[in-house]
Chains A and B, each alone.
Chain A
Amino acid sequence: MIALLLTLFPLLASLLVLAGNPSSAKRSALFFALVELLLSLYAYYLVCKQPDSGILEVNGSWIASLGINFKLKLDGIGLVLVLLSNILFPLIIFSAIDREIKNTSAFYSLVLFMQMALAGVFMAMDGFLFYIFWELALIPIYFICLLWGAEDRARITFKFFIYTLTGSLFMLVGLIFLYQHTTGPHHSFEIHALYKAGQAMSIKAQSFVFFCMFLAFAIKMPVFPFHTWQPDTYTTAPTQGTMLLSGIMLKMGTYGLLRWLMPMVPLGVAEWGPVAVTLSVIGIIYASCIAIVQKDYKRLIAYSSIAHVGLIAAGILAFNVQGMQGSLVQMFSHGINVVGLFFIVDLISTRMNTRDIGKLGGIRNVAPQFSVVFLIILLGSIALPLTNGFIGEFLLLNGIYQYNFWIAVFAGLSVILGAIYMLRSYQNSILGELNALTSKFADLTWNEKAVLIPIVLLILGLGIYPKPLLDITGPEIQNLISSAGIIKP
């Protein structure tokens, strides 16, 4: 029931905002997003208290003759992402509170529509339903980027759309292929039926499915060499769009890999996983190196995002408890951190009218609060102990180490390279000499603090006490791995 509510409420909210008065769209969208957040906190409570109760599940027949069901279920893995998404949505909506956005109702309506689709993606337990929500999430973000983006957006957004659609269609091919192999009186798209079908297939067939579906997830994340849409799209999208893309939408890829691919075709993973891990690690180093020489702040963070997600992908592909749990924790942390970073960059670029790191400097002298908040988020992003990033990266590297020593060595470079580009950019923009441009930099307003303080609290809070996240994901990850028939320590 709560699963249904979590998906239907944002849809209803989206329609209400669209029909309502444009002047109140901002506030009502924020209100709806907060209600959704409360709902998901209640769901968290339920998952902790009674994980197997029927209230977390909804299962209705949709297209009975084809074995397609409207099956949503909230479990520990899905909950982490639903929680992340619903924590970020109010923040993302609030981050635009001072901005003038044309066609306000349409904008917020699309944002809320996307919240619906994302909730659906993270809770769907039916392959077909998963695909539908997966595509539904693409349509609002396409229009958000297209209608509210920066210059040259038509071409870039289109490239993004074609890229992701290519991936999803191949995923559909993979899903249909699995569906045809399900046994029983009728074929079925139910996730466990698909698991069973996938695991029973030959290595060759499993490899085929692995390629089809990995392509979809790799493009969404993105993993090297499927990343070329990402920096341009992140740079031209409106700030809220970038936050949605990097904070939440990217996690669709990693989540899909974790839940829909790894347990589905274990032999295919064993056969081709090393290739995928190698690509992820190449991506980490490649993106970090490019980030080091970036002049544009938004692009720098876009590339850093590729590096981080490469590590997450490698952790999932390692296919052990530490790696997978680490990836979930890191998905959560990365979502929080990257939204914070993009908001910081947005503040800089609206105040200074430039995102060029070279033109900044000395902001610390005029905006101490801003500098402190920025530093904390930045440290979270480079995974300093006592920040949320550390827990995730530690578990990830631990998991990857168990998988392969040399891979772990190269993946570990991400921490060092991350520190280089992040700290260097901080040095150049916040520390150093004030110049004519930055001397006019105003410190944080209350509205901006209202966005940044929750982010800072989450970064520190989870860094010091990550137990809530670890507790709800642990047993689920165990189940997932043992259901694949590969039991590792």
Chain B
Amino acid sequence: MISLFIISLLAVTAMLAEILNFKKLLPSITIAGLVMAICSIIPEWTNPVSIPAFNNMLVFNHFALAFTFSLCLITLLWFVMAGTYLRTETALTDNYALILFSLAGAIAMTSFGNMVMLFLGIEILSIPLYILAGSKKTDLASNEASFKYFLMGAFASGFLLFGITLIYGATGSFELPLINQYIKIHLNEMPAFFYAGIFLIISGLSFKISAAPFHFWAPDVYQGSPNMVTAFMTTIVKTAAFAAFFRLFSTCFISIENSWSPVVWAISAITLILGNTIAVRQDSFKRMLAYSSISHAGYLLLAILAINSNSAGAIFLYTLAYSVASITAFTVLNKVYQLKGTDLIDGFNGLATRSPLLAFSITVAMLSLAGIPPTGGFFAKYYVFNTAFINGYTGLVIIAVIASLIGVYYYFKIIIASWFKPATEEKQIELSISEKVLLIFTTLFTLAIGLFPGLILNLFS
């Protein structure tokens, strides 16, 4: 919980930096603050606070702490990646503040104990992102992205809020444990509008995780937003939304699993098939990553569907592996974009001859996203499949296996382009030290999750 305070404080500090004129120090303060936030998790982990804070609004159990850790870590990596972009192309303080507020919202989404807090968390996460999506003010695509994201996001919030209201109407409470208790007692006499509420919540959350058929905003928004903002959206937002999805359904609605699992089954299957097949036809790397992000939501839904003791670990591992690989991918994409001014896959041609480090790290990242050993993505995917298998979703696992095969096709387009296609120019690509450190770290991290997943899984056992 201390980490949430630190981050909120950090966000306010970022806003003050403009007025009090210490803009130059802001990047170092932010990095230090995030490191502190990460460190503050360790004592809380060993002695978890037993009394929930703020009248059960926030419950920092191990699940929440683990996700807070992963969110802070990804944001830290994100700041290292986006350092140059933030300094040169944006109003520094505004962007720092917006990102940090968004992170605070994300942490609230992983630790809520009350439906209201869930809604607040989602709004705190989303509103800064509506602004950030449009931060290239003169670019039409960026404006479109912002507007679309806002419009769709508002609808999703509306659905969610309506769902929460209906559930309150049926159970008389916003608090997760109380709702759960009420459902257990009145299992067979829940009114129809209660189920309508659950489906509205599923729809609302599906917007946030960009699962089909609620995914239509995602490709345009991801492509139109500045690269760095897209990176933030595909990693932090997805992680937080899945944590929230899982937390809500595993604590509240687990006793009526049979009523909502067919819906999630269908959403997962459609997402897997649509996301992967459309990604195949993309020429733009960024748009391809957008569809790949949609398809990863499909795999993650498998773990939600198979709600059991392994699910939390599966979602955590998967989102972490996916986010780290995405950070690598966006770092390389941004570098290529700066040099070529395009995000087309052809821009990667001959990357291996121009910068072996870039080519190697994008290869590992693509292997991880495609789920090929020994990368973290493979183990995460394996673990998710395994989790789904335990609960007997063999059919969906087979669909997911076929979907990942299609996935290999488009991820390998990048690998083939980097290693095999001839480069249009010979000049070596210069990398700054922070870029090198970031790429080496994320690549090693991806391999480490694949080789020693036990370290992470032990957190959840």
- Interface positions of A (Cβ within 8 A of B): 62-66, 131-132, 135-136, 139, 143, 146-147, 153-154, 158, 161-162, 165-166, 169-170, 172-173, 176-177, 179-180
Contacts and interface: CB of A to CB of B under 8 A. Distances in A.
B412 A161 contact: yes
Contacts of A179: 386
Contact of A177 (B378, B389, B412, B420): B389
A169 B404 contact: yes
A154 B414 CA distance: 12
Nearest to A138: B372
B346 to A, nearest CB: 14
A173 B397 contact: yes
29 contacts: A63-B453, A63-B457, A65-B454, A65-B458, A66-B386, A66-B457, A135-B372, A135-B373, A135-B378, A139-B372, A146-B416, A146-B419, A153-B420, A154-B416, A154-B420, A158-B409, A158-B412, A161-B408, A162-B409, A169-B401, A169-B404, A169-B405, A170-B401, A172-B385, A172-B401, A173-B398, A176-B386, A179-B386, A180-B386
B401 A146 contact: no
Given A65-B457, A135-B372, A169-B405, A146 B420 contact: yes
B386 A147 contact: no
- The dominant DSSP class at the B interface is helix
3 closest Cβ pairs, A-B complex: A63-B454, A135-B373, A169-B401
A172 B379 CA distance: 12
A162 B454 contact: no
B385 A176 contact: yes
Given A146-B420, A169-B401, A180-B389, A132 B373 contact: yes
A170 B394 CA distance: 12
B373 A136 contact: yes
Nearest to B421: A154
B385 A62 contact: no
A62 B450 CA distance: 12
B461 interface: yes
A147 B457 contact: no
Nearest to A63: B454
B45 interface: no
B223 to A, nearest CB: 26
B42 interface: no
A146 B419 CA distance: 9
B377 to A, nearest CB: 12
Given A65-B458, A173-B398, A176-B385, A147 B374 contact: no
B408 A165 contact: yes
Nearest to B455: A63
Nearest to A147: B419
B382 interface: yes
A66 B389 CA distance: 14
B390 interface: yes
Given A135-B373, A136-B374, A146-B419, A162 B457 contact: no
A122 to B, nearest CB: 17
A216 B380 CA distance: 21
A62 B398 contact: no
B451 to A, nearest CB: 9
Contacts of A169: 401, 404-405
Contacts of B386: 66, 176, 179-180
B389 A158 contact: no
A131 B416 contact: no
Nearest to B394: A177
Contacts of B372: 135, 139, 165
A165 B390 CA distance: 23
Contacts of B404: 169
**Could you say which of A131, A132, A169, A177 has the most chain B C-beta atoms within 10 Å of its C-beta?**
A169
A113 B169 CA distance: 62
A174 B408 CA distance: 20
A166 to B, nearest CB: 6
A148 to B, nearest CB: 11
A412 to B, nearest CB: 38
A135 to B, nearest CB: 4
A26 B112 CA distance: 60
A62 B397 contact: no
A132 B389 CA distance: 19
A206 to B, nearest CB: 15
Nearest to B405: A166
Contacts of B458: 65
Contact of A173 (B367, B401, B412, B461): B401
**Could you say which of B367, B372, B416, B461 has the most chain A C-beta atoms within 10 Å of its C-beta?**
B372
Given A132-B374, A135-B373, A176-B386, A147 B420 contact: yes
Contacts of B382: 172, 176
Given A65-B458, A147-B419, A176 B389 contact: yes
A165 B458 CA distance: 30
B408 A162 contact: yes
Contacts of B405: 162, 165-166, 169
Contacts of B401: 169-170, 172-173
A177 B374 CA distance: 21
Interface in B417-435: 419-420
A119 to B, nearest CB: 16
A38 B385 CA distance: 41
Nearest to B408: A165
A158 B374 CA distance: 19
Given A64-B454, A165-B405, 9 more contacts: A66-B454, A132-B374, A146-B419, A146-B420, A162-B409, A165-B408, A170-B401, A176-B397, A177-B394
